[in-house]
Every structure is written in structure tokens, then in C-alpha cells.
């Protein structure tokens, strides 16, 4: 098969606030991809590259004060490297990409949570050439208080996890608005249900993509 005939891979993202179970359900999705014999790259944001992981450490663990605009720019810098070095090459090779957070996270956290403006975040990414859109985004959703209680049980919070209730309520509202604006892409999963129910919902959402991959 020549490079020109390679079928482009699918891009799946996992989104949601703290404590919604992204890590657990990312592992579940990886299992579905493996069962379907789909070659994939698992990655995360911020991060995904050597530089991105360094920027992740700055965003989540930097001491002292950081301007909200600086946080957004660090996230965007990590993302532009991530797309160029990892995501786009994998998709062009025909691999699928499963990513823990992507642009929707910056729209929710920096655009709404930090109140920098959703339009501002979108425009910034357009200017730096990050225009790729996931094929499917699994938005794990639950009431903010429930997710924060789960997060608190995990240990010491990072600098974003230390934000207050109002921050996360704004972020959740932005996530839900993204789902309302793009229902073909952003699929809400009630993460407050029992884990088997959550994973059954995820499998149902991904089933058409998995079937189409088997038929190629």
C-alpha cells in the first residue's frame, strides 16, 4: 500500500473536569481499540512531546504567580508541538489517536474558567495553525461538587485543581455548550453512573467508528 492510499486514522479525545474518570475510561477505550485490532497512539495534553511534558510541569506545578494569559500560551505552545510531532503524523500513517484532553479543554479551562474568552482561545489556535478537529470527543460529565470530592481523595492538587467551585462551574458550562454546538462530535457521557453503565455508553458511541474500521 502506498502512502497516498493509506486511510487516515481517527482522532478521539477524552474531555471532562477533575474526578470524572478520564484515566479509567481511557484505559477502557484502549482496550476497545486493541480488541478491534486498531493501531493507535495514546497521548495527553498538556504534554505528548518532550517539550510538551516540560510545559505541562510549568502549567501544573510552577511556583509563584502566573498570568492567565501565560497559562493559555503555554498550553497553546504544547499543543502546536503535539499536533505537528505526534497527532498529525500518526493520523497520516493511518493510526488512530486517543488523546486525554485537546482544544476543548483550553476553551473550557482558560476561555471560560479563567474568563479569557472562548473566542479568544479559538482565534489564538487558528493563528498558530491548530485547526484539526477530533472525529469524536467523549465528554465525561458529572456535577462539579462530585468530581471535586473524588479529586480531593486522590491527594495533593496541582495549581489548576486548586481553583474554586465557580471556576469549575464555568468550565463545565463551556464544555456543555461545546456539546450543544457540535452534537455530531461531542458526545456527553454521564460519568456519575456506575462504571459499567459509563463504559457501555462509551462503547455504544464508538461502535460505528469501530465497525467502519473493521470493514476497511
The per-residue pLDDT for range 24-47, each reduced to its tens digit, is 999 999 999 999 999 999 999 999
The per-residue pLDDT for range 106-140, each reduced to its tens digit, is 999 999 999 999 999 999 999 999 999 999 999 99
Question: Can you give the pLDDT at residue 1?
Answer: 45
Cβ-based neighbour number of residue 18 at 10 Å: 19
Asked if residue 155 has pLDDT above 50, the reply is yes
Rounded average pLDDT over 176-192: 98
Rounded average pLDDT over 67-81: 97
Coil, helix or strand at residue 154:
coil
CA distances to 104, 116, 125, 135, 186 from 13, in Å: 9, 23, 17, 8, 9
Query: In which domain, by residue range, is 138 found?
Result: 3-214
Q: pTM score, two decimals? A: 0.94
User: Per the structure block, which three cell numbers stand in for 31?
Assistant: 482496550
CA distances to 86, 123, 124, 125, 132 from 129, in Å: 15, 10, 9, 6, 9
Cite the DSSP H helix spans in the chain. 22-35, 50-61, 68-82, 88-92, 103-106, 118-127, 144-152, 165-181, 195-214
Whichever domain contains 191, its CATH number is 3.40.50.300
Asked if residue 172 has pLDDT above 50, the reply is yes
Domain count, the chain: 1
Q: How far is CA 150 from the centre of its chain?
A: 19
Question: Can you give the pLDDT at residue 212?
Answer: 85
Amino acid at each position: 500500500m502506498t502512502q497516498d492510499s493509506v486511510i487516515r486514522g481517527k482522532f478521539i479525545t477524552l474531555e471532562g473536569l477533575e474526578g470524572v474518570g478520564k484515566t479509567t475510561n481511557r484505559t477502557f477505550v484502549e482496550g476497545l481499540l486493541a480488541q478491534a485490532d486498531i493501531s493507535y497512539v495514546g497521548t495527553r495534553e498538556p504534554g505528548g512531546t518532550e517539550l510538551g511534558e516540560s510545559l505541562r510541569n510549568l502549567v501544573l506545578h510552577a511556583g509563584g504567580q502566573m498570568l492567565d494569559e501565560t497559562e493559555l500560551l503555554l498550553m497553546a505552545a504544547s499543543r502546536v508541538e503535539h499536533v505537528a510531532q505526534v497527532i498529525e503524523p500518526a493520523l497520516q500513517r493511518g493510526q488512530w489517536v486517543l488523546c486525554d484532553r485537546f482544544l476543548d479543554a483550553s476553551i473550557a479551562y482558560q476561555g471560560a474558567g479563567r474568563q479569557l474568552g472562548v473566542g479568544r482561545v479559538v482565534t489564538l489556535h487558528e493563528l498558530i495553525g491548530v485547526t484539526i478537529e477530533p472525529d469524536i470527543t467523549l465528554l465525561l460529565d458529572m456535577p462539579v461538587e462530585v468530581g471535586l470530592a473524588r479529586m480531593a481523595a486522590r491527594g495533593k492538587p496541582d495549581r489548576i485543581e486548586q481553583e474554586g467551585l465557580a471556576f469549575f462551574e464555568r468550565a463545565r458550562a463551556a464544555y456543555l455548550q461545546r456539546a450543544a454546538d457540535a452534537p455530531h462530535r461531542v458526545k456527553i457521557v454521564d460519568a456519575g453512573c456506575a462504571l459499567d453503565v459509563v463504559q457501555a455508553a462509551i462503547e455504544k458511541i464508538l461502535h460505528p467508528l469501530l465497525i467502519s474500521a473493521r470493514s476497511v
